[in-house]
Amino acid sequence: MKDNEILKKQIVYRSTHRGSKEMDILLGNFVKIYINKLNCNDLEDLKNLLLIEDEIIYEWYFKKIYNKKIPDNKVSKLLKTFKLQ
């Protein structure tokens, strides 16, 4: 199995096993839609974003509270504009 495919599997798992249902739904759906559209660097950025605590991502996404722990990159910009259907 290629390194890229292993990374994708890790990202899918981490995005759906967060510890809070809200983050499982948000990040799991985001990853499902975008994982095959991201290049290697973007996948690494996504992996690093998923290492951030749920509370920080939740406040940043839902409450629009800026946090310097959230990087300003392509992945975070995609997530910020992502809408659950």
Distance CA(8)–CA(13), nearest Å, equals: 9
Distance CA(76)–CA(82), nearest Å, equals: 10
What pTM value is reported for the model? Answer: 0.92
Average pLDDT along the chain: 95
Does residue 1 carry a pLDDT above 70? no
pLDDT, tens digit (0-9, with 9 covering 90-100), for 28-49: 999 999 999 999 999 999 999 9
Distance CA(20)–CA(44), nearest Å, equals: 23
Q: What is the CA radius of gyration of the chain?
A: 12
And the tokens for 82? Answer: 């992502």
CATH architecture of 3-81: Orthogonal Bundle (1.10)
| Greater pLDDT, 48 or 1 | 48
pLDDT, tens digit (0-9, with 9 covering 90-100), for 19-32: 899 999 999 999 99
Distance CA(76)–CA(39), nearest Å, equals: 14
